[in-house]
Structure 1
Amino acid sequence: EHTVEGRSADIIVSWGNDNTKTVAAAPVVTQEKASETAPAPVAAVATPVVEAKKPLKAPPVMSGPVAVEAIDFLNEEGRSVIAVTLSGPVKVSEPVEEGNLIRFELVNASISRALRRTIDASAFPSAVTSVTPYTVADGDHQNVRIAVVMKGAVAYALEKEGSTVRLVVDDGAYAEPVPAAVSQVEVVAPEATQDAPAGIVQQRSAPTFRPVTADEMAAEAARYTGEKITLVFDSANVRSILQLIGDVSDLNILASSDVGGNVTLRLIDVPWDQALDLVLETAGLGKVQEGNVLRIMPKGKLRELEQAAMKEQTIAIEEGVLETRAFLISYAGVDDMKGYLTDIKSDRGSIIADSRNKQLIVRDVADVLDQMRDMIAQIDKPERQVMIEARIVEANTNFSRNLGVKWNFDYDQNVDPTTKSLTVPNAALGLGGAVALAPTVGAGLGSTVAIAALDDQLNIDLRLQALENSGEGKIVSTPRITTLNGEKAVISQGTKIPFSTVSDSGTDVKFENAELKLEVTPEINPDGSILLDINVSNSAVGTVVPTATGDAVSIDEKKAQTKALVRDGQTTVIGGIFIEDERESATGVPFLKDIPLLGGLFRSKSKSRDRRELLIFITPRIVE
């Protein structure tokens, strides 16, 4: 039985296990059979350089043969190791070279039939092709011979430590190639691991070959949208890889005869168009797509074709037949469009602007005329529009407080014996004068208290009022307007207030606007954002003020002017305009309200505070 274990970039092949016990010696094989069992030597090559070997100490004399417990093949960074684990110390013969074959013997040793198998290492990045253990007869005992077939002349060393014999081979040119990009990648040293059980050898990580990583291509990943594929090949032909990509992409691929070479790649879940670019870049190839046909050729040849095409185009412009075409201009200015096309026309061409019919008459070669047609199609487009929706909110905060006592005397000639209340029709009498009754107090906002009654004919009501009333009001206006990109739009609604002015020529009547007005100039940016130049005003009729020519009405005006950058459909708010009015007044019975201490029973006070704020919410929407 044998096991193959991969750890990081190392590969371990093990025969046997930790618990293998010493077994009886295998039947002695004669020298002739041994020669048949051993692999045939290959053609001789130059004698390899052999490193200095450690002196092998003579093992102590043992009563019986030493058993081979395991044979391990390790492929480490740049070297291969064949490790033979025995049940005890053993004498090792000097290695013998026969062409690409290196063999050494373990004197007076035995090996089980399960371990007498060839280790095939040809698929590994190693200088070792195979390792074959077998037994040979040596007088009255047998030896275990280890035959190692190499891929070429490389340096090696035979080492012995305790009951372990190791053949260390320098892989040299046969080692796994290290890409240049690895030098730019930070390599973290692996953590130390505990000793592994016998038969399993610990290894360090080795760098793996990768042309590119996803992180290195993150900046260009956005432009690759093809179906993801996985390509893992070792020295694969470029033409074969192009055929695989053509099957996935549904493109017709035409490769020139000089497209060739091999590439080694490992691409996992990569868009096929990205994989194609990587393969072409690695192989020094370029591509030209015409419809669903992809032409692939070396970059040098591709540059030659481009230069030849440019030369042909130059000759066609200089020597081509002149044609005349008329281009209608629907939205852009004719003179502006003429300026754009002047840079495209050839030296032999001419452009005439017909402003009355909104067209350009151009005479030039066919290729230049086609370029002008495409340019006009890109520029001559209808101007986009923007719909502006504005919500204007005026928030009022009113606070009023009324506190006072008011007296009321009623006299009635017809005394009601039940209520003992006296009333005088259409008459109201007070102490020292007439006093108007306060409005009825709403539930929860105040109280009315009856104090006493003087006699059957008088009813004296004492009302102590404590009123505190607070409220908020909102005035919402929602004007909407649509305008062209870059053009000012104005919308207004209100009233014209007349007022008279006196001059030498007489009295004139003029009008002042009391209106809600919105002015907006939008500019659409290429990224979809909108720059708004906003001017909002809200005027209303104010109080009456005296003037030299008489009373006049004042105009209360609120304004907001700003610039804002918003996205299509988003809302911006403008606020912070406050107007606050505070008023205090006092009423009461003359003379009595001024009596110290008792005057409070004959007077009332009122205090009001009015706070208003103007808020403007603006939402632009692009109309295609």
Structure 2
Amino acid sequence: MMQIKFKHLFLVFLLLGFTACTSVEPDQGGDDLAELDAGAGDEGGVDDVDDAGGDEMGDEFADEADVADLGGDDAAGGDEDAFAGGDDMAGDEFTDDEFAEPDMETADAGQEPMEEDGLGTEDPLAESEPFPEPMEETQDVASEPLPMEPGGGVEDFAEPAAGGVAGNEVTDIKYLANQAGGTVVIETSGKANYRTRLNEDSNQFVIEIAGANLPRRLKRPYIMKEFESEFAAINAYQNSGSSTARIVVQMRNPGRALVQQEGNSILVLPPTQENMAAFVDDAQPEEIVEETDLQAAVEEDDSEPSYNVAEAEKDEKVLGSRTLDEFLMGNNKFYGRKLSIQTKDADVRDALNFIAEYSGINMIISDDVGGSISLKLREVPWDQALITIMRAKRLGYIRQGNVIRISTLGTLQAEADSARAIIESQKSLIPIRVKVLPVSYAVVEELAGQLRPFLSEGRGRIAADPRTSSLIITDTDEVLNRITRLVKNLDIPPMQVMIEGKIVEATEAFQRSVGVNWSFDGEPVTLSDSGGANGGPLDLRTTFSVNPVSRDSLRGNPFALSLTVGRLDFLGELGAILSLAETENSAKVLSSPRIVTLNKQAAEITQEGQVLTKSTVTEQGGTSKTQVERTPVTLNLKVTPQITAVGSVILDVDVKRQFAGGVVDTESLARAINTRQAKTKVLVDNGQTAVIGGVYQSDNTQSESGVPVLKDLPVLGWLFKARGRDFQKNELLIFLTPRIINFGDKGGGGDGMETSSLVDVLEGAG
């Protein structure tokens, strides 16, 4: 083992010395390297190396020379089994079924472990053991060649490209947009050895270039969201200490990209039908190889995607705002990779260029940007550093696509003012038109006032025609379209509300009168014919009566009891009447009005009666005339509904009731007019009932009338007085139930109304 390591170290020193010798004469050195590459894969590779590099290289290093050359036949063909059985580069992206075929196209003999940002690592391959021992399962296919990709390109299951240049370098990675879905171009300093693999879980296509160096400026993600391509993003990275550069292509849709090598460029094409057809036409006849199960070791940490997709997606959010003002007002988060920078009195342009180079963004710096700046930033996101520099130097930016242009705030403000002036001047040149918009439900005068602020200043006009209920608008096409949309949203059928009311009034009255009425009529005394004045009779009749009970109450009550209790013929006729009168009234008035009204429109229901009052009027000439006056008494219900957005109803209710009281004058039958009123605002759900007013009144009156002094005598006083009792009870209840009627829903309303449009009517008539 020590001997193998010693040979290996000696080979490295010899190659370094050979490189130093050939650097003086570049032309001759190039020929020597060509001879070295040509002879490394043959059996006599040692003799060719001796001729090119001198006698320093002995036979004992012939095998090592074969190993150093990745383009040799032994590495590509004879040791194919070694790649299949011992290469740990496949990763968890390949399942066991995928290993049924030889997936790896090339292998890096000097591959070293890679660990960078958690983007995937490689298992180290010992320098002293350039190729693991082939496994038994791979012996059957060792002698059979694997299919080659057209044009020297290498896909999965293909041989590595021959003639690769050791110490290669990736010079550029770019994306070319075209109608075929775009092309990813990977340029190298020389013809490269590469292989490809597909991670179906993360939908990533990986190109691994062996023996190549990836510059730091290319180690970044490339986001292609601005392009309509099958490629979503590209990420290039190389782990520390590794000689393999990896380019990961994030596919938008499942599929395997097509790879083709042309000179020092590797072309990655999307799997479209056009590219597939062109690829098949250019392909060389391939030898069909029988599939054989292969068992290969995989990297322990290759189960994760080859690069962090979430981190790459963050780059899409970096400086996503169009201008600096929009960024400061709407976003205070930074997503860029962190950097550290420390300068003193450095040119601002150099600082901006450094950030552009580090981040890989497309940046244009205007000529008016200048001055110096001192920075000391540690582990700061690069977009935050860029914003800080711009704010410190009063700079701003404008983003157009994936290009950021940086200039002074004054210049950007002047450009914005100029752009607004140009837009305003162009607006004055736009022709205007006249449009008539019919209005079905809204009031045209009110709608015209609401639309006037949306017209073009100085050019737009609007007029309302109440006769045809139309709006006449003059403005540009853009404004007319906007006004048309506004009218369509504002001129909508209003909602309707049906209000069902129940008004219940209960009245209960009780009257009772008890008393005794006395009367005495004296008989006339007639003297003889010889006596008296002028021989006439002398009338000595006297009359008196005691009536504590009102005759009106007796007369008005047909069921009053009038009983004559005594009659004396001593001097005349003495009569006594016992009066018992009792009246009980009970009334219940029930009214159920129903009315439909528009939203926010008042609905009013009125019920009116009359109270008659007699009066005597003396006219000229002394004649009297009886007149009858009619006093109205009303029941008024006024409701204004308002439909809320959640379907409930706000009711603004005003209830007023007038009614006649008791008789205050028996001759004129005059009555007092009483009023009850309730005014409130209540919120109820659709279809629920609200009790608006409940007025309860109870009157209990007791009265006593009779002959003064006599009515106060004990026991006997009942013969000269009467007592009365008057009891009245009134109760008023009001119930209101609102129901929302959906306009245009035939049969859906509670009132059975149907609605139809004017178009339906005209079509039915036609």
Normalising by the smaller structure, the TM-score range is 0.3 to 0.5
Larger strand percent:
1
Larger radius of gyration: 2
Larger helix percent:
2
TM-score (norm 1): 0.38
TM-score (norm 2): 0.32
